């Protein structure tokens, strides 16, 4: 019996099964893995893995493939998290538009707590970071900021683990 014969294919909108999760885990660690290599890890043929990956892409579970770069090697050696405190009722759309204009901003999110947003910034050095924070402070909706500089990154994951813990 072929390895695929016992597999129950997931429905187009249903939950992911353990094989889908295992495939996603393999891709999260190395998106360049061949379907054959992934298949050997999840006990499927390469064509079966391809069908599942295609289905996961069609469902929007996978929205693209990318490369992970080392920011320090590219000259972006300083990293900080900047808490942003805004005036009145600044909308997320206003914040998104402003933060999106900064190439140094790699992530920005509205948050609970005292701050209205947290912005992850990468800069060439502390002087560059200071310039970026000053520009953020100059945005019309910003009352103040508070920055935390990263000393040592401890855990970095591609995006998220495919299998819940």
Number of domains in the chain: 2
pLDDT at position 159 is 67
pLDDT at position 11 is 47
Burial letters 95-119, b for 16+ CB under 10 A, else e: beebbeeeebbeebeeeeeebbbbb
Does residue 66 lie within any of the structural domains? no
Tokens 């992911």 sit at which residue?
A: 16
pLDDT at position 44 is 96
- Could you tell me how far CA 162 lies from the centroid of its own chain? 13
Strand partners, 78: 123
Q: What is the CATH number of the domain that holds 48?
A: 1.10.10.10
Does residue 71 lie within any of the structural domains? no
pLDDT at position 15 is 83
Does residue 131 lie within any of the structural domains? yes
pLDDT along the chain (165 residues), means of 10: 40 78 90 95 96 95 87 92 95 98 97 97 97 98 98 82 56
pLDDT at position 10 is 43
Q: Does residue 141 share a domain with residue 83? A: yes
Does residue 69 lie within any of the structural domains? no
pLDDT at position 72 is 86
18-29 vs 35-42: helix axis angle to the nearest 10?
A: 130
Q: Could you list the residue range(s) of the whole structural domain that residue 92 is in? A: 78-149
Tokens 């996603």 sit at which residue?
A: 24
Q: CA 69 to CA 63: how far, in whole Å? A: 19
Predicted model pTM: 0.74
pLDDT at position 56 is 95
Q: Does residue 138 share a domain with residue 97? A: yes
pLDDT at position 164 is 56
pLDDT at position 165 is 52
Q: What is the CATH number of the domain that holds 88?
A: 3.30.70.920
Does residue 15 lie within any of the structural domains? yes
């Amino acid at each position: 019996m072929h390895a695929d014969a016992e597999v129950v294919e997931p429905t187009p909108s249903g939950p992911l099964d353990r094989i889908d999760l295992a495939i996603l885990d393999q891709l999260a660690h190395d998106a360049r893995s061949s379907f054959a290599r992934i298949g050997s890890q999840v006990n499927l043929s390469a064509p079966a893995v391809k069908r599942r990956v295609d289905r996961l892409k069609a469902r929007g579970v996978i929205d693209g493939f990318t490369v992970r770069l080392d920011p320090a090697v590219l000259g972006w050696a300083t990293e900080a998290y900047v808490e942003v405190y805004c005036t009145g009722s600044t909308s997320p759309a206003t914040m998104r538009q402003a933060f999106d204009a900064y190439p140094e901003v790699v992530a920005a999110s509205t948050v609970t707590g005292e701050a209205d947003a947290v912005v992850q910034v990468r800069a060439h050095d502390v002087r560059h970071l200071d310039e970026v924070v000053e520009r953020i402070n100059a945005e019309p909706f910003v009352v103040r900021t508070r920055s935390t500089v990263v000393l040592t990154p401890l855990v970095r994951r591609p995006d998220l683990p495919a299998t819940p813990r």
